[in-house]
Each structure stands twice: as structure tokens, then as C-alpha cells.
Amino acid sequence: MPDFYAPKGVPDYVPPVSRQFAAARNGLIAAAERAGYQPIELPVFEDTGLFARGVGESTDVVSKEMYTFADRGGRSVTLRPEGTAGVMRAVIEHGLDRGALPVKLVYAGPFFRYERPQAGRYRQLQQVGIEAIGLDDPALDAEVIAVADEGFRSLGLSGFRLDITSLGDANCRPAYREKLQAFLAALPLDEATRERAEVNPLRVLDDKRPEVQALVADAPLMADHLCAECSEHFESVIAGLDALGVAHVRNPRLVRGLDYYTKTTFEFVHPGLGAQSGIGGGGRYDGLMAQLGGQSLSGIGFGIGVDRTVLAAKAEGVELATGGRVDVYGVPMGAEAKAVLVGVAGKLRAAGIRVDLAYGSRALKTAMKSADASGARVALVLGDRELAAGEVVVKDMVAGDQQTVTLDAVVESVRGLLQG
């Protein structure tokens, strides 16, 4: 038995599953880059106050789930539980909002929440996120949502659903909040839920307990109390999604788990994942930048769970990483042949071709089994006879054909086979 194990709720991704994970992450990032989003790298930990102020102290994320500790200087720092607050802090700190707007950014990496581990819900979760900061334009909302939709579809997923609603703004939400609080005050809620209703009544609608869901079934909904401006904004977003061909379902009961959302709010769900069906979501956060000490600028973004995207692909039977781990596998027969093939491998890699070798002292039969297991399209076999002639055997592992070419011509020969 091993002496050490990964911490509870923290998954390892090892081959071959790691290739599926990387394909999902890279595919989602690529979809954002095609829409002009630029990469940003964020600290893994930040000042605790950033998340308390930016995410909301009434949220489960802040009140129950953050990994917070004092560093050696006595400062309170927190492993990042989400990405938007950190991105906004970086935009303000580096003055990105002083240039052309919107600022369009994409990021990826681990985030940390102390939750009860279960399938698709980890204490170290992996996400890809984008943020479009600086403009309140419904067309931008539609673009952000379409980037997520296109990212999923580029991976081969089709069994997901997009739920969307509007949570209003500072003009219409206060009156709705009063109506919702009055409704909740008349319900037999437990003390903790009643306290939550006082701080942020929308969070009660997000309570997943069946008994609470039954109690709030007839609660007033924000979608029925939007001001004219928010209603027009939302209908423009819907029109943009229709123009982009993004299928959607209006879900007036949708509530996200973070306090900063306003207006457009959305979630992608996949029925194949059971109770933990959310695979990504986001929304607009019009007051967040000012709340964190910056300009009063708008923004919209999403966070997509890479872990859950991999699970969704598995549920649909989608193979995210196709082909072998390398294109070419070298099989040397002897130390001198190995030295030559090491040089050939270097030239092939410089030409953008993925190459591995049979290291150690392996018999031909064993080495060819390794070549087959690697998924390589081409095997290069070099023995004493080929070495003396300055040649190498190039074997097509799919067709079973082989030819002997000079060592000088091996790169072009292999490239031709791979492109054929």
C-alpha cells in the first residue's frame, strides 16, 4: 500500500484519463480564443477580503466552503474559490479597464471549495472561465453564452441544456426583494434558512433540499417583476442567442450561487450527470467592479467545470482525445542504433511530429508491442543491417506496409505517411 494518498476530494488525472481532461480544457479555451479572448494567469490565493466582498458573505462559498488561513506574516489569505473576483481585481490593479473595451479574458486552472466530495463535486475543481468587462451590451451577453455552447459542441457534446433568466438590477430588484422576503416570512423555515432570507432571499430559492423547494414552489419570481429596461435587455439577449443558433430554455427559477449576478444569468446542465447536473454557468455582474474599488463598469462571464465536462462526455460516450499519444515510435536494435534514432527523433520533433522510443534493452517483439500500444501511426525500426546501409525501416502501423528509406529522407517519408 502507498504511504501517501491524494487529499480527500482532490482528484488525480493520470493517463489515459488525463488526455481526456486536457482535451476538454484545451477545447474550451480554444473556443474562447476564437472569439478574441486573451489569456490571463491568476494567483492561486488572494486576500480573503477580496472574496468576502466580491463573492458575498451570505453565500455558502464564503460562509462555509473557503480554504482560509493566516500566512507567515499574519495576513488572512484564501485559496481562490472562483475566478471572477480575482480577474476583476487584476483588471483594476493593472488598469486594463483604461484601454479599449470590452476587456476580454480567458483563464483556466484549479479552484478550491471545502465541500462534501461526490462525483463531479470536488474540493479542488478545475475550471475554464471567460470574462468580458466594460460594456453592458446584450450582444456581448449572447456572445459569452455562445462561446460556452460552441466549446461544448466542439468537444462532441450534444446532450446538455442551457437554462437562462434575468435577475434584474438595482432598479427593480429591491421591490422584488421585499415581495420575496414577505413571502418567505410567512413560511415555517428553520432558523438558519430564515437568517439567510434576511441577508439574501434569492439564496433560499436556490436551496436544494426537497422540503424547502416544496415550500417555495409558489414564491414570486424575479422574471415577473423586471423593470422595462431589464426586460428589454433580456429580450435582446434572447434575440442574440436565436441569431447565433444557440438553443435555450427560459427558467425563471434559476438562481446562481454567487451574490454578484445581475440581469442575464445562465447555467448549462447535463441530465446524464444526475444530481450534480451543472456543467457550467455564469452571468452579468454590473456592480462588482465598483464594489471592489474600481470604475462603475459592467461585466459578464462564465465558469465551466472541466471535471464535469469530462463526466458529461463519458455519459454521452464521447471520446475527447482521439488518436495515439505519439505519431511515431522508434524501435532500435542495439546501443548504436538507439543513439542514431535519438537523433532522428529530435529532427522529427523539430518538425512538429510526436515521437517516442523503446528505451532500455527490449527484444524486437516486445518493442513492437510497445509501438502498437502507443497508438503510433508509424514505427521506425533500425537494426545493424539498416545502420550499416544508412537506412531505416519505416512501417505503416495501420496498413501494415513497410519501406526502407535513407536516414536523410526519414523526416519527409514520415511526414508523407502521416499526411496521407
Can you spell out the DSSP letters for 18-79?
HHHHHHHHHHHHHHHHTTTPEE----SEEEHHHHHHHT-TTSHIIIII--EEE-TTS-EEEE
pLDDT tens digits for range 234-264: 999 999 999 999 999 999 988 876 667 889 9
What pLDDT score does 263 carry? Answer: 93
In a domain, 124, yes or no: yes
31 and 153 in a single domain? The answer is yes
Amino acid (1-letter code) at residue 23: A
155 and 258 in a single domain? The answer is yes
Q: Name the domain boundary from 316, 342, 375.
A: 316
272 and 401 in a single domain? The answer is no
144 and 246 in a single domain? The answer is yes
C-alpha cell at 116: 462534501
- Number of structural domains (the chain) is 2
- Using a cut of 0.95, tell me whether the model's pTM lies above it: no
Q: How far apart are CA 177 and CA 183, in angstroms?
A: 10
> In 286-400, where do the E strands start and end?
299-305, 328-332, 355-357, 378-382, 391-396
In a domain, 200, yes or no: no
| Cα maximum dimension of the chain | 92
Smallest Cα–Cα separation from 18: which of 328, 320, 355, 279? Answer: 320
Banded model confidence at residue 316, pLDDT cuts 50, 70, 90:
very high
Q: What's the average model confidence in pLDDT over 295-302?
A: 95
In a domain, 407, yes or no: yes
Banded model confidence at residue 58, pLDDT cuts 50, 70, 90:
low
pLDDT at 370 over 70: yes
For the beta carbon of residue 235, count every other beta carbon within 10 angstroms: 13
162 and 46 in a single domain? The answer is yes
In a domain, 12, yes or no: no
282 and 332 in a single domain? The answer is no
pLDDT at 64 over 90: no
51 and 127 in a single domain? The answer is yes
In a domain, 66, yes or no: yes
242 and 274 in a single domain? The answer is yes
Report the relative pairing of strands 402-406 and 124-133 from DSSP bridges. unpaired
Q: Give the rounded distance of the alpha carbon of 5 from its chain centre.
A: 25
CATH code of residue 413: 3.40.50.800
Backbone angles phi, psi at 282, to 5 degrees: 175, -155
Q: Name the domain boundary from 291, 316, 341.
A: 316
The percent of residues in the chain predicted with pLDDT above 70, rounded, is 98
pLDDT at 333 over 90: yes
- In this structure, are residues 44 and 79 in contact, taking their beta carbons and an 8 Å threshold? yes
Banded model confidence at residue 207, pLDDT cuts 50, 70, 90:
confident
In a domain, 209, yes or no: no
Banded model confidence at residue 379, pLDDT cuts 50, 70, 90:
very high
What pLDDT score does 57 carry? Answer: 67
Backbone angles phi, psi at 56, to 5 degrees: 115, 125
Q: How far apart are CA 24 and CA 327, in angstroms?
A: 21
312 and 400 in a single domain? The answer is no
Q: Name the domain boundary from 316, 348, 370.
A: 316
Compute, in degrees rounded to 10, the torsion defined by CA atoms 302, 307, 312, 313: 110
360 and 415 in a single domain? The answer is yes
In a domain, 412, yes or no: yes
242 and 391 in a single domain? The answer is no
Structural domain range at position 90: 17-172+226-316
398 and 290 in a single domain? The answer is no
